[in-house]
Amino acid sequence: MANSKKKDVNFYRRVPRKYKNIIEKSVIRYSEEADQYDNHRFISEKGKFFHEIDMEAFFSILGDISGKRILDVAAGTGRLSLELAKKGAQVIALDVTYDMLLEAKKKFSPGMNIFFCNADGRKLPFKDNSFDVITCIRFTHLVSKEDMIDFISEMKRVLKPGGYVIIQFGNKTREIFIGFLEEFLHSVIKKEYKRTTYYPKDYRYLFKDMKIVRKIGIGFTGLELVARLSKSLAMNINLIGRIFPFMYLTKKIIIQAYKNDH
């Protein structure tokens, strides 16, 4: 898309040199896939189910967000941003890939309170203390733990005191028990990229300057098969992931962490 390439070039000029390589890879990958991104992931019954349990978990934490200023980092084609805007929040959907945001824009109706921002999550173009809430879904598996420190410190900077982040992570604890076969299939057999996943100690380190108040586990191996038989049964089994110690068997963990008031 000629227009988007021009935008991307301008955008790259503002990106610090040390990040250019990593960003380029992501932008190339997601620019190529943007118009098929949703079809590949969220159109099948399995995809719709995963989207549904993601949304249920995020909104069980978010509660009433009407009028809140929310930044959705790595918003992609806007599946979470859209739901946030529908519930009355003022949303900024931010993503490094312009073409993903173009796809997101198609989904929003003119009256919705949403802005799109083509930027790197490690260099947010906002003033300190600007947002009530920051969300980030289906992203952390793509970057290294070291990079994630930079993302979180930027989120913390633009978050208002007393505001909070909700971020989804891949759960490494589960790999020890049951997930190792899936990871092996993913990275060795299918030769796809290695996903970054997290142990509880990693969260403590990442959020050492913030206050973790909630952890929610989402998705068990094979849950999509149960959903084929009964969606409501699968949704109920999924809720077991909120109970300790079952959380450590789930595929993903969502962390809610506050920026201190002082």
- In the chain, the amino acid numbered 103 is E
| Helices 2-13 and 98-107, packing angle to 10 deg | 120
Q: Does residue 50 contact residue 62 with C-beta atoms inside 8 Å? A: no
User: Between 117 and 246, whose beta carbon lies closer to ligand SAM?
Assistant: 117
Q: Minimum CB separation from ligand SAM for residue 138, in Å?
A: 3
| The pair of three-digit structure tokens given for residue 187, joined into one six-digit string | 């990275």
Q: Minimum CB separation from ligand SAM for residue 3, in Å?
A: 17
User: Between 195 and 246, whose beta carbon lies closer to ligand SAM?
Assistant: 195
Output the residue with the shortest Cβ distance to ligand SAM.
Answer: 76
Find tokens 């073409």 and name the residue: 99
| The pair of three-digit structure tokens given for residue 245, joined into one six-digit string | 């110690």
| The pair of three-digit structure tokens given for residue 87, joined into one six-digit string | 């519930």
User: Between 187 and 230, whose beta carbon lies closer to ligand SAM?
Assistant: 187
CA distance 119 to 101: 11
Residue 213: which H helix or E strand, with range?
A: strand 211-218
Termini Cα distance of the chain: 46
Q: Minimum CB separation from ligand SAM for residue 157, in Å?
A: 15
CA distance 5 to 165: 31
User: Between 139 and 169, whose beta carbon lies closer to ligand SAM?
Assistant: 139
User: Between 140 and 250, whose beta carbon lies closer to ligand SAM?
Assistant: 140
User: Between 89 and 96, whose beta carbon lies closer to ligand SAM?
Assistant: 96
Q: Minimum CB separation from ligand SAM for residue 191, in Å?
A: 18
User: Between 13 and 201, whose beta carbon lies closer to ligand SAM?
Assistant: 13
> Smallest Cα–Cα separation from 123: which of 25, 22, 26, 14?
14
Q: Minimum CB separation from ligand SAM for residue 183, in Å?
A: 17
Q: Which residues make up the interface to ligand SAM (CB under 6 A)?
A: 23, 26, 30, 74-76, 79, 95-97, 100, 120-122, 137-139, 142
Q: Minimum CB separation from ligand SAM for residue 114, in Å?
A: 14
Q: Minimum CB separation from ligand SAM for residue 143, in Å?
A: 7
The three-class DSSP label of residue 179 is helix
State the pairing for strand pair 159-171/197-198. Answer: parallel
Q: Does residue 167 contact residue 196 with C-beta atoms inside 8 Å? A: no
Torsions phi, psi of 77, nearest 5? -85, 15
